[in-house]
Each structure stands twice: as C-alpha cells, then as structure tokens.
Amino acid sequence: MSTYLVYTHPSAGHTYPLVPGLLELQSRGHRVEVVTAPALVAPLTAAGLSTVAVDPRILAIQSDDYKEATGSGRLRRGLGSMLDRGDLEAADLERHVARVDPDVVVVDPITYGAQVAAERSGLPWVVVTASLLPMPGAGIPPYGLGLAPWRGPVGRLRDAVLWRVVEGLYRRALMPGVNRMRTAAGLSRLRSPLDLNDRPDRLLVLSGQPLEYARTDLPVHVRFVGAQQWDPPAEPPAWLLEDGDPWVLVTCSTEYQADEELARVAVEALRDEPVRVLITLADAYATANLPVADNIRVERFVPHRLVLDRACAVVCPAGMGLVQKAVSQGVPVVAVPFGRDQPEVARRVVQAGAGVALRADRLRADRLRQALREARTIAFRAAAAGARLRASGGPHRLADELEEAAPGDLSVRETPGQQSHLPVGVETA
C-alpha cells in the first residue's frame, strides 16, 4: 500500500472535489494525508481523512484581482497573488514531505510553489485540477475567451493566432515568478507556460464531457477522471422543505470578486416571477445591501447540494464547482461570468446544452429574467447533459489514476515537451 500527500489550494472549491476520490483511495488500504485551509480541516477529518492545516501565512495573501478594470489586468494581478504565495508553499510542502514520507505527492495546479517543491522532491507527483483543461488541441478554441468551436480553415487560423495571444498573456504574467522559484530550487528554467504542465507524472482533470471538448490528441499523461462533488453532511433547513413555488438558486462567487451586482439584479428580475429565490452571498454577505422582496431569501451560504435537490434553475457567475454540481443534477444554469475562468465555463455550459449565458456587461433585470425563462425551457437538455457528465467518471476513476501514479506503476509517460499546454486554471469559485 502507498502513502499519498495531498497539498490543496486552501479553498473549498479546490479541495472538496478531491474528497470522494481520496476516500475511495483510502478505502483500498492506502494512507492519505491532506494539507489544506484551517477552516477545512474539521469537515475533512469528520469525513475520515487525516487532515492538517497549511502554513497560515499563505492565507494572509489574498487575491484582489477584481480591482482591475481589464481582463489582462485581472489575470496579471490574480496570478501575481498566487506567485506571492509560492515560497511559503514550497517550504510548507517540504516540511510535510519530511513528516509524512509519502510515495506520491498530489498538488493543485495553482499552488505554483508547491509544484516546484514536488518536482524537486524526486518523488512521483500528480497535478489534480478541479477546473477545465486549458490545453491546445485539434479543434479546441483558445482557453479563457469563451469562444465557441469553429471548424474549417478560418477556425484553425483563428485558434492558432489566439492561442499565441493567450500564451503570451500567461507567459508575461507567470514565467518570471515561476522561473525565479525554479532557479532557486535548482530546476531548469521554462521558456513558456505552455511547458509547465509537462512536468508532473500525471495531470488529472476532475471533469469530462459534455463540459470538456472531445479531444483526439491528448498527451498520454493527461487523464479526465470525471466530475466529482462533495459537501460536508448537513440537514436541510426547515424553510427549504416548505411547499411552494420552485426554488431558483442565485450565488455570488465563493472567492470574493465583487459580483454583488448579480444578486441585486436578480432581486429586481425575479421578485414578481412564480419562483422562490435563494441568494447566497458568501464573502459579500456583510456588504451587499440588497433590495427586499417577498419571494427572496438571502443567506451567507447554504450547501448547494441541498438546494439543487429542489431547484428548477441556478443563476451564478459560472464558477466550475457549482456549475458541475448543477449540470450533474440536470439543473439548468444561467451563467453570468465576471472573470477568472468563468467566461470559459459559461461557454461550456452553452455548448453542453445545460443552460444559457449572459455577459456581465449586459446584465439587466429584463435580460436576466428572460435568460432564466429560456433556461427553464431547456430543462430536458440539461438533464441529458447531466447524464453524460455523470457517465464521464467518478471517485473510482480518480483513485485508479492515483494508484497508477505510485512507484513502479508509471508505465505510460511521455517525454516532457512532446505536448505543451497552458497551466491549468486561475482561481475557481
């Protein structure tokens, strides 16, 4: 049996999707040790996983990318915050490697310092992402722009040009910091962010079709293992169980990004609709100051699973975690992306037939009301998308791949540089 050290990004959206697969891995007799945010230690421990907290100094460095006015500015600022955590992450992971003596190290794609330490350790190491795979390939649109696939020679030209643009944005924002850490660790410098994810022995993606595009040229060390969802066990509040109109779940991002406008417009749009609306504000709860309406309920947070069981639709900024939960349960989505990886996730919702998208700069009450009505008319398509996503994998497949990564089992490994792709993701909500 093998020992796995799992170092997560310290947020629920990056940690909770790992839980089902880690529990499955542990049930097979392996030892699993998770390092995550202090607030997540208790729920993961209660679930049965050995869990300890990251260095608290890491959490003191928070992303404030929402303060930038442009997409490129938000990208630079968001990646800058992640890089600022890098030295602390590297030292933290090294301490836990010495303590646990693992056979395999598992890290999050946006813990850049932890990736450097994992590579330097000489141990088999795996990157697991709870977001979409931002990787060039035949017929794959440039990541992050929210563009639909475009076939034919014009589409291939568009994709080739815009992939270079995306690569350049990431390279300028990311590579000076990454290469500083790599040089200090005695590792080779990388020319481009397109080289970064060639480094781990496995890159596992916690998603699948129809949210992921079909690929014909996937590198052999990259595997889709299917959508995975987990919330700490909780009982539904009494008000959620009361008879009445169907529920619509409206959420702001769990990782704050100044998207309270979505909640405010949702009140105006839905106050006279034949639905009950639950708005969850997360970190915006203390400052949102929303209008009041009889069919609107506002909470800081309610476990999404409890609400989705009773919801006719979800309105959200298109964070990957909630989108995968909604699609898996066949609940249609109105995606209103504000930034980060959300434009890309919103596009995949539309391509999958699982909902509709509305640009944040076009957000008005009448448009949001119409988008919700449209989404509810395609509930049958959302149900079909959910069936496909549920069939794309699950905890058993994640556990299978992690077992294969243990020493002696890495039978399929391509040469670094054979296939290049973008670093997986920016922070998901």
Structural domain harbouring 38? 3-227+393-404
Is position 154 within any domain?
yes
Residue 336 clears pLDDT 60, i.e. is over it: yes
Question: Using CB atoms within 10 A of its CB, is residue 315 exposed (0-12), middle (13-18) or buried (19+)?
Answer: buried
Q: What is the number of H-type helices and E-type strands within the chain?
A: 16, 13
Whether 245 and 313 have beta carbons less than 8 Å apart is answered as no
How many angstroms separate the CA atoms of 251 and 247, rounded?
Answer: 13
Residue 284 clears pLDDT 90, i.e. is over it: no
**Phi and psi of 175, rounded to 5°?**
-70, -35
- Please give the C-alpha separations between residue 370 and each of 260, 322, 377, in angstroms, as whole numbers: 20, 21, 11
Q: How confident is the model at residue 425 (pLDDT cuts 50, 70, 90)?
A: very low
Edge-to-edge strands, sheet with 355-357 = 296-299, 276-280, 247-251, 311-316, 333-335, 355-357
Is position 178 within any domain?
yes
Same domain for 131 and 79: yes
Same domain for 150 and 14: yes
Candidate ranges 203-207, 212-216, 254-258; pick with highest mean pLDDT: 203-207
Is position 429 within any domain?
no
The pair of three-digit structure tokens given for residue 98, joined into one six-digit string: 């010495």
Is position 420 within any domain?
no
Is position 145 within any domain?
yes
User: Which percentage of the chain shows pLDDT scores above 70?
Assistant: 94
Q: Is the pTM of this model over 0.85?
A: yes
Which residue in 48, 208, 192 sits closest to 133, CA to CA?
208
Q: How confident is the model at residue 282 (pLDDT cuts 50, 70, 90)?
A: confident
Whether 355 and 328 have beta carbons less than 8 Å apart is answered as no
How many angstroms separate the CA atoms of 213 and 146, rounded?
Answer: 13
- 308 three-state secondary structure: helix
Crossing angle of helices 152-184 and 71-84, in 10° steps, is 30
Residue 33 identity:
E
Question: Using CB atoms within 10 A of its CB, is residue 401 exposed (0-12), middle (13-18) or buried (19+)?
Answer: buried
Same domain for 120 and 30: yes
pLDDT per residue as tens digits for the range 294-319 = 999 999 999 999 999 999 999 999 99
pLDDT of residue 417: 38
pLDDT of residue 412: 44
Helix (H) or strand (E) holding 384: helix 379-390
Is position 203 within any domain?
yes
Same domain for 397 and 324: no
Which residue in 341, 252, 250 sits closest to 295, CA to CA?
250
pLDDT per residue as tens digits for the range 397-417 = 999 999 999 987 544 444 343
Same domain for 223 and 121: yes
How many angstroms separate the CA atoms of 73 and 112, rounded?
Answer: 20
The pair of three-digit structure tokens given for residue 343, joined into one six-digit string: 């434009």
Which residue in 274, 277, 268 sits closest to 310, CA to CA?
277
Is position 424 within any domain?
no
pLDDT per residue as tens digits for the range 84-128 = 999 999 999 999 999 999 999 999 999 999 999 999 999 999 999
pLDDT of residue 409: 57
Same domain for 195 and 259: no
pLDDT of residue 401: 97
Q: How confident is the model at residue 387 (pLDDT cuts 50, 70, 90)?
A: very high
pLDDT per residue as tens digits for the range 345-385 = 999 999 999 999 999 999 999 999 999 999 999 999 999 99
How many angstroms separate the CA atoms of 219 and 84, rounded?
Answer: 30
Pairing of strands 222-224, 355-357: unpaired
Three-class DSSP labels, 387-400: HHHHCCCCHHHHHH
pLDDT mean over 271-277: 96
Q: How confident is the model at residue 288 (pLDDT cuts 50, 70, 90)?
A: low
pLDDT mean over 326-353: 95
Same domain for 223 and 271: no
How many angstroms separate the CA atoms of 358 and 375, rounded?
Answer: 11
Residue 53 identity:
A
- 404 three-state secondary structure: helix
Same domain for 54 and 35: yes
Same domain for 328 and 292: yes
How many angstroms separate the CA atoms of 18 and 13, rounded?
Answer: 10
Work out the mean pLDDT of the chain and round it to a whole number. Answer: 91
Which residues on adjacent β-strands are paired with residue 125? 105
Residue 286 clears pLDDT 90, i.e. is over it: no
pLDDT of residue 97: 98
How many angstroms separate the CA atoms of 132 and 260, rounded?
Answer: 25
How many angstroms separate the CA atoms of 65 and 404, rounded?
Answer: 37
Strand ranges (E), 45-97: 50-53
Structure-token match 């260095």, residue found:
55
Burial 104-142 (b: 16+ CB within 10 A, else e): bbbbbbbbbbbbbbbbbbebbbbbbbbbbbbbbbeebbb
pLDDT mean over 225-246: 94
How many CA atoms lie within 13 Å of 110's alpha carbon, on the beta-carbon side?
29
Residue 427 clears pLDDT 80, i.e. is over it: no
First to last CA, the chain: 34
Same domain for 397 and 382: no
The pair of three-digit structure tokens given for residue 424, joined into one six-digit string: 């997986």
pLDDT per residue as tens digits for the range 58-80 = 999 988 888 878 888 888 888 99
pLDDT of residue 306: 93
Question: Based on the structure, what is the number of domains in the chain?
Answer: 2
Q: How confident is the model at residue 339 (pLDDT cuts 50, 70, 90)?
A: confident
Provide the CATH number for the domain around residue 252: 3.40.50.2000
Question: Using CB atoms within 10 A of its CB, is residue 366 exposed (0-12), middle (13-18) or buried (19+)?
Answer: exposed
Residue 225 clears pLDDT 90, i.e. is over it: yes
Residue 419 clears pLDDT 70, i.e. is over it: no
How many angstroms separate the CA atoms of 356 and 373, rounded?
Answer: 10
How many angstroms separate the CA atoms of 393 and 207, rounded?
Answer: 8
pLDDT mean over 163-178: 94
Residue 36 clears pLDDT 70, i.e. is over it: yes
Same domain for 398 and 386: no
pLDDT mean over 34-40: 97
Is position 219 within any domain?
yes
Same domain for 397 and 375: no
How many angstroms separate the CA atoms of 185 and 194, rounded?
Answer: 20
